[in-house]
Structure 1
Amino acid sequence: MSIRYFTLQEANQIIIEIRPLMNDLLARRGKVVRIYKDIRPQIENTSSDFGGPVHTGLVQDFIAIETLIEQIKAYGCEIKNLEAGLIDFLAQINGRDVYLCWRYGEDEIAFFHDLNAGFQGRTPIS
């Protein structure tokens, strides 16, 4: 498998395309987290018979979340932190491998970081 490098323009175009997928993904994730908090005592009580519409809905949401993640990854980007909505695109700046870094809610990619630096190492693209 060959390594794909993105230009800033390519990555920003993909952001436009995956933003609706991220909207759905993060909404479903939030819903699952809220429901889990509500039903956690039932799950932890081994004598409870957990099932019914809540269970069915959760299963459907988990399947949808998995599908959305695969759709996003199919663009060639990497989901680094789902909770924070962090997505990285492999790129080269001045001959150096870096990640173009986008966080859900940002209009476009404006930062990059070294491969091992992570979000804390974000540097503005100038």
Structure 2
Amino acid sequence: MQMKVFDLDTARETLVLIKPIVEEINLKRMELTEAYEKFHEEEDELEKMYLEAHMKELDRLIDSLFRKIEALGGVIKGVDPILVDFLSFYKNRYIWLCWKEDEETIMYWHELNEGFVGRKPISILEEENLW
């Protein structure tokens, strides 16, 4: 499958679509945690069966929400916290534009072979005026 290549503006526009999906994932995760806790406290077998089915459905839903992010071109690099990278082309090489779920917008990037710890501010790229 061909990966989508983003410039910074397009990645930020796509992030606007991804953020509500991430919020939905987190809501469903909270619901899953509550169902899991209820399941372990519940003694009624019928209620346990219902909770188990509900947890499986939430799991499936969370998985499909992650696939939606990927369909938009985001690459999931972490799930707790949610990290999404966007492939970009800069100075004749590919790099990752990266976003962490509590950040307002894409403010960091790193080389393909670097992970989250290698993140550098986008301002470095902008100062070089190569966008």
TM-score category by the smaller chain? 0.7 to 0.9
User: 1:110: how far off?
Assistant: 0.8
Correspondence 1:75 to 2:72: yes
Correspondence 1:29 to 2:29: yes
Normalised by the length of structure 1, the TM-score is: 0.83
Q: For residue 13 of structure 2, what is the aligned residue in structure 1?
A: 13
Flag structure 1 segments of 5+ consecutive residues without an equivalent.
43-47
User: 1:63: how far off?
Assistant: 1.4
Q: Which amino acid aligns with 2:19?
A: R
Considering only aligned residues, what root-mean-square deviation do their CA atoms show, in Å? 2.2
Q: Is the 8 A contact 2:97 2:106 kept in 1?
A: yes
Where 2:81 maps in the other structure, the secondary structure is coil
Normalised by the length of structure 2, the TM-score is: 0.80
User: 1:53: how far off?
Assistant: 2.1
Where 2:6 maps in the other structure, the secondary structure is coil
* Separation of aligned partners in 2, 1:16 and 1:36: 31
Q: Which amino acid aligns with 1:31?
A: E
More helix as a share of residues = 2
Where 1:52 maps in the other structure, the secondary structure is helix
Between the two proteins, the alignment pairs up a number of residues equal to: 121
Q: For residue 56 of structure 2, what is the aligned residue in structure 1?
A: 59
Correspondence 1:93 to 2:90: yes
Q: Is the 8 A contact 2:3 2:73 kept in 1?
A: no
Where 2:96 maps in the other structure, the secondary structure is strand
Correspondence 1:108 to 2:97: no
Q: Deviations over 1:66-115 (max 9, x none)?
A: 11011111011101101111000000121221100001121110100011
Q: Which amino acid aligns with 1:6?
A: F
Flag structure 2 segments of 5+ consecutive residues without an equivalent.
124-131
CA change 1:39–1:116 in 2 (3 A) is: farther
Question: Percent sequence identity over matched residues?
Answer: 29
